[in-house]
Amino acid sequence: MAKHHVTATVNGDAVEFLCETEETLLDVLRDTLHLTGSKEGCSSGDCGACSVTLDGRLVCSCLVLGCEVAGRSIETIEGMATGETLHPLQQKFLEHAALQCGICTPGFLVASKALLERDPDPTETEIRYWLAGNLCRCTGYDKIIKAVMDAAAEMRTS
């Protein structure tokens, strides 16, 4: 059967693409739109490396079909910085060395941004549970949690 013709908004830009029914949003982002910042770690929604927001809602792009996003708005890691300026979360991840290998970092940043947009002042426990769907095998999470708390504090004061 013919491919689906889909128009949507990605990081504020109107995009058009063709996809098979079985192609996931992650497949479309990576292979068709060449936005490889979202990573494929498991294809089962268990690692969070493919996290994006769909109409502002945090989801795993490996658990969304490409054809489902017609007319909807997607934000990926590629849309997080504004021009020359890193998002405070990105800056804090760098300053706190909250990444080692970096494969999980885009997912953590997208998920953390979604958290701080809902709750500007989360507790350590709230952050840990919100991010429980993002696996990191390098850091033990310590510096990631600290970076998110520090970014939240800075965003509250600015």
Partner 1 sequence: MQAKTSAALPQSYVGTRTVRPDGVDKVTGRARFGADFNLPGQLVGRVLRSPHAHARILSIDTSKAERLPGVKAVVTRDDFPDQSSEFIPAGEMMMNYRDVVRNVMAREKALYEGHAVAAVAATSTAVARRALKLIDVQYEVLPHVIDVVDAMKPEAPLLHEDLYTAGVEPKPERPSNIAKRVEIGHGDIEAGFARADVIVEREFSTQPVHQGYIEPHAALASVSEDGAVELWCTTQGHFIVRAHCARLLGLDIGKVRVTASEIGGGFGGKTVVYLEPLAVALSRKAKRPVKLVMSREEVFKASGPTSGARIKVKLGATKAGKFTGAFAELKYQAGAFQGSPVQPGTMCAFAPYDIEHVKVIGYDVVSNRPKVAAYRAPGAPISEFAVESVVDELAKKLEIDPVELRLQNAAREGTKAAYGPKFGPIGLIDTLHAVEKTNHYTTPLEEWQGRGVASGFWFNIGGETCASLTVNEDGTVSLMAGTPDIGGLRASLAMVAADELGVPYDKVRPIIGDTGSVGYNFLTGGSRSAFSGSMAVVEAAKQIKADLCTRAAKLWELAPDQVAFENGHVKPVGDTNGRHKPVSVADLAKVAGKTGGPIGGVGRINAQGAGPSFGTHLVDVEVDPETGRVTILRYTMAQDAGRAIHPSYVEGQYQGGAAQGIGWALNEEYIYGADGKLQNAGFLDYRMPVASDVPMIDAIIVEVPNPRHPYGVRGVGETPIVPPMAAIANAIENATGIRFTELPMSPPKVLKALKERGLNGVKA
Partner 2 sequence: MRYEAPETLDTAVALLAGARGDARVLAGGTDLLVQMRYDILDPELIVDIKRIPEIRAVTEEEGGWRIGAAVTGAELKEHAALGRAWPGVVEAANLIGSTQVQGRATLGGNLCNGSPAADSVPALIAAGAIASVAGPRGRRDVPVEDVMIGPRKLSLERGELVVSFLLPPRAKGSGDAYLRFIPRTEMDIAVVGAGVSLTADDAGTITRARVSLGAVAEKVLLVPDAAQAIVGSRLDRAAQERLEAAARAACRPIDDKRGTVEFRIEVAGVLTRRAALIALERARAR
SS3 content of the chain, % helix, strand, coil (to 5): 40, 20, 40
- Cα–Cα distance for residue pair 75/35, rounded to 1 Å: 11
- Among residues 10, 33, 58, 74, which is the contact residue for partner 2, using CB under 8 A? 58
Q: Which of 28, 29, 67, 98 binds partner 2 (CB under 8 A)?
A: 67
- Return the axis-axis angle of helices 142-157 and 105-118, rounded to nearest 10°: 40
15 sits near partner 2 (criterion: CB under 8 A): no
CB of 97 to partner 1, least distance (A): 4
Q: How many residues bind partner 2 (CB under 8 A)?
A: 32
Binding flag, residue 46, partner 2 (CB under 8 A):
yes
DSSP state of 136: -
Do 109 and 47 touch, CB atoms closer than 8 A?
Answer: no
Q: Which of residues 93-152 bind partner 2 (CB under 8 A)?
A: 111, 114-115, 129-134
Q: Which is nearer to partner 2, 35 or 111 (CB)?
A: 111
Binding partner at 28 among partner 1, partner 2, none, C-beta below 5 to 8 Å by kind = none
Place of tokens 């494969």: 103
Residue 60 binds which one of partner 1, partner 2, none, with CB within 5 to 8 A depending on kind?
Answer: partner 2
Contact of residue 96 among partner 2, partner 1, none (CB under 5-8 Å per partner type): partner 1
What's the rounded Cα separation, in Å, for the pair 24 and 31? 10
Distance CA 121, CA 36 (A): 31
Q: Which does 120 bind (CB under 5 to 8 A by kind): partner 2, partner 1, none?
A: none
Residue labelled with tokens 């600290």 = 146
